[in-house]
Amino acid sequence: MPVAQAAPHIPASGSTVVERLPRRADPAQRELASLRAQLAANPGDLALATRTAQRYIAVARQETDPRYFGYAQAALAPWWSMPAPPPEVRLLRAILLQSTHRFSEALRDLDAIVAADPGNPQAWLTRAIVQTVRGDYDAATASCARLSSLSTELATIACVANVGAMTGRSARSEALLEMTLRRNQEADAGMRVWVLTLLGEMAQRRGAARAAEERFRRALALDARDSYLLGAYADFLLEQGRAPEVIALLKDHGRIDGLLLRSALALRQDRSAGDALRNADAELRARFDAAMRRGDSVHQREQARYELHIRGDAKTALALARQNWAVQKESADMIVLLEAAARTGNRAAAAPVIDWVAKHALEDVAVARLVRQIRAGA
């Protein structure tokens, strides 16, 4: 695919907000500034570097800003390229590689960690998550099983249920996870947000809109800035045709590509915000073009959705969706590939997903609807 050249973005007026910078008075920013200064003076201090990287990763998740992942990698620079860095660096490297969808590299590090330290619960959980995203369900189940004696009941059941929901055991997985959450209300907020988001997605996949909404809202009450949660809830609202709510939900989160995309999808669905949609379209085009020039394939699923639903280029969307399918196999990956295949009339392109759904007995009403549509058009 040829690489397009994006024009620089020039604000329409001096009052246009280009970026909202973190407040220097923010305690987290003050802590990071202190850690940066200490690390600049002692770049080889392993404990300081790992502490700094951990804080950057935490802020990246809290602030929904992926740039902090890059800062975390920079903090680990003296050890980053080592074939076998210290274990604490290796785990952080695996987490950062996972966050940028470099799954094979992340798994190499995680395999090495659990071989040397089989009692490391974070490594087993991260490994299971990566394996589930890649569709290696047997391996993911085995990784989850190792958690039972190493982590909390809620973390273990969430891990197992996440796999079960993709392999024909959706109802049992959802019921077990919901029951386990009720028994573990003392779990930390981050864990409960993750579990409630999983439960919301499970309900959405079986078409239970009321249950899905209740769970997403409970999660938002715990953390209204979690980027994955915001994206999942926005997708649910878009599916329900509630575009104005998506626009309001994401109005302060445009610096995150996936959330800006969902805002643009809402604007298009709303059909009443011409200039806002044109601006979002131009910004997304510039960002995706820049990612392509960097060789960054992290957002292929999002770019496929953009090409299909914003630009109306189903052929390009299908090419991107097929490349993405080679890397990750979640419901959203299936949906965009099936949508693009249906739009182009290319049943052969849809065949791998249709076969995958049948093989693993996936239960997802949106996927099933698209499979029926493609088969009916044959």
Would 219 be classed as within a structural domain? no
pLDDT the model gives residue 119: 96
Separation between Cα atoms, residue 6 and residue 285, nearest integer Å: 7
Question: What is the DSSP secondary-structure string of 322-347?
Answer: HHHHTT---HHHHHHHHHHHHHHT-H
Report the number of distinct structural domains present in the chain.
1
Task: Output the CA torsion sign for 231, 233, 238, 244.
Answer: negative
Question: Is residue 132 helix, strand or coil?
Answer: helix
**What letter does residue 26 receive in the DSSP assignment?**
S
Residue 366 falls within a domain, yes or no?
yes
pTM of the model: 0.88
Instruction: State the pLDDT at residue 25.
Output: 54
Token pair 């770019």: residue: 303
* CA 311 from centre of chain: 23
Task: Answer whether residue 97 is part of any domain.
Answer: no
Structure confidence at residue 299 (pLDDT): 86
Is 324 part of a structural domain of the chain?
yes
Residue 34 lies inside a defined structural domain of this protein: no
Distance CA 241, CA 214 (A): 17
Burial zone of 272 (CB within 10 Å; 0-12 exposed, 13-18 middle, 19+ buried): exposed
Please compute, for residue 286, the number of CA atoms within 13 A of its CA located in the half-sphere on the CB side: 12
Per-residue tokens: 120: 């490391």
- Look up residue 327 and give its amino acid: V
Identity of the amino acid at 234 = A
Buried b (16+ CB within 10 A) or exposed e, 322-351: bbbbebbbebbbbbbbbbbbbbbebeebbe
Looking at residue 27, its pLDDT comes to 80
Residue with tokens 């699923």: 301
Name the packing angle between helices 121-134 and 87-99 (round to 10°).
30
- What is the C-alpha end-to-end distance of the chain, expressed in Å? 28
User: Is the residue at 264 inside a domain?
Assistant: no
The conformation of residue 124, written as its DSSP 8-state character, comes to H
Token pair listed for 227: 């980027």
Query: Could you report the per-residue pLDDT of 55-106, keeping only the tens digit for each?
Result: 999 888 776 677 888 999 999 999 999 999 999 999 999 999 998 889 999 9
Domain boundaries, position 322: 303-378
CA–CA distance, 378 with 336 (Å, rounded to integer): 19
328 in a structural domain: yes
User: For each successive 10 residues of the chain (378 residues), what is the average pLDDT?
Assistant: 37 40 65 91 94 91 76 96 96 93 95 96 96 97 95 97 96 98 95 97 98 98 93 97 96 91 96 87 94 82 97 97 96 98 97 98 97 88
Go through 111-126 and write b for each residue having 16 or more CB atoms within 10 A of its CB, e for each that does not.
ebbbeeeeebebbbbb
- Distance (Å) of CA 8 to CA 65, 102, 131, 274, 279: 22, 29, 39, 21, 13
**What does each C-alpha distance from 135 to 67, 147, 316, 325 come to in angstroms?**
28, 19, 24, 10
Inside any domain, residue 378: yes
Q: 108-143, pLDDT tens digit by residue?
A: 999 999 999 999 999 999 999 999 999 999 999 999
